[in-house]
């Protein structure tokens, strides 16, 4: 392919990247089934990030649909020589920001979700097993949800989703130094809040 010949010398292309590139080209040529394959590959990743940013499965499902609608609409802008996942995550962040603004307009005060979406629990196990861990997890998410929006997104993308600092910077449209500062401040706020909560209970 002509596109493959234009890659920078020394830039390695993984089989997965080549497969995604092929799916993108087929989609742009009008093959909707190819885009369905892209959706199937990344839907869970988009859904999990949306749930963490929006604190609810219903909102996350709506946001996920919107993400892939925008991805399909703007697919022609994608540089297939670069990884597609950070591009999709950036769309996800932007969609979730839009959803958050709409939620804030609908509600005069911020209403905290009763629980953060997580994998379904095994009801057959001891109901008290892991109770202390679950309490800690919920406290952590409450603290995380109170962070300033930019710090929260940077920490979630870096520490929860596992993206590199460079990838987080690309997703958020920011510089790496700014992202490093946001992550550092966010982690410090979380530590201080968790230490304070622990002190209250001791």
Instruction: Looking at 146-175, list the stretches that DSSP marks H as alpha helix, in order from N- to C-terminal side.
Output: 149-155, 165-172
DSSP tally for the chain: helices H, then strands E: 9, 0
Percent of the chain with pLDDT over 90: 31
Q: What are the pLDDT digits (tens) for 106-135? A: 554 333 433 444 444 444 444 444 555 566
- The pLDDT of residue 106 is 58
**CA-based radius of gyration for the chain:** 20
Q: What are the pLDDT digits (tens) for 19-36? A: 888 999 899 898 989 999
Q: Which residues contact 195 (CB under 8 A, 6 or more apart)?
A: none
- The pLDDT of residue 103 is 67
Q: pTM of the full predicted structure?
A: 0.66
- The pLDDT of residue 10 is 42
Hey, what are 161's tokens?
Answer: 């989703």
Pairwise pLDDT comparison (107 vs 48), residue with the higher score: 48
Q: How many CB atoms lie within 10 A of CB 63?
A: 23
Q: What are the pLDDT digits (tens) for 86-107? A: 999 999 999 998 888 776 665 5
For residues 45, 48, 51, 57, the Cα torsion angle rounded to the nearest 10 degrees is 100
- The pLDDT of residue 145 is 84
Confidence of residue 198 (pLDDT cuts 50, 70, 90): low
Confidence of residue 194 (pLDDT cuts 50, 70, 90): confident
- The pLDDT of residue 197 is 62
Q: What's the whole-number mean pLDDT along residues 59-65? A: 92
- The pLDDT of residue 43 is 94
């Amino acid at each position: 392919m002509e596109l493959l010949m234009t890659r920078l010398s020394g830039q390695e292309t993984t089989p997965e990247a080549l497969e995604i590139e092929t799916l993108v080209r087929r989609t742009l040529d009008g093959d909707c089934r190819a885009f369905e394959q892209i959706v199937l590959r990344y839907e869970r990743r988009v859904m999990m990030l949306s749930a963490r940013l929006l604190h609810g499965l219903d909102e996350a499902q709506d946001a996920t649909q919107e993400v892939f609608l925008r991805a399909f609409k703007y697919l022609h802008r994608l540089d297939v020589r670069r990884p597609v996942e950070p591009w999709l995550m950036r769309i996800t962040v932007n969609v979730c920001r839009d959803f958050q603004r709409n939620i804030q307009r609908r509600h005069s005060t911020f209403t905290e979700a009763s629980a953060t979406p997580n994998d379904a629990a095994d009801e057959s196990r001891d109901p008290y097993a892991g109770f202390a861990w679950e309490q800690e997890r919920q406290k952590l998410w409450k603290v995380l949800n109170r962070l300033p929006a930019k710090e929260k997104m940077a920490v979630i993308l870096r520490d929860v989703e596992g993206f590199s600092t460079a990838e987080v910077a690309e997703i958020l449209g920011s510089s790496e130094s700014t992202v490093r500062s946001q992550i550092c401040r966010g982690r410090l706020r979380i530590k201080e809040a968790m230490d304070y909560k622990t002190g209250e209970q001791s």
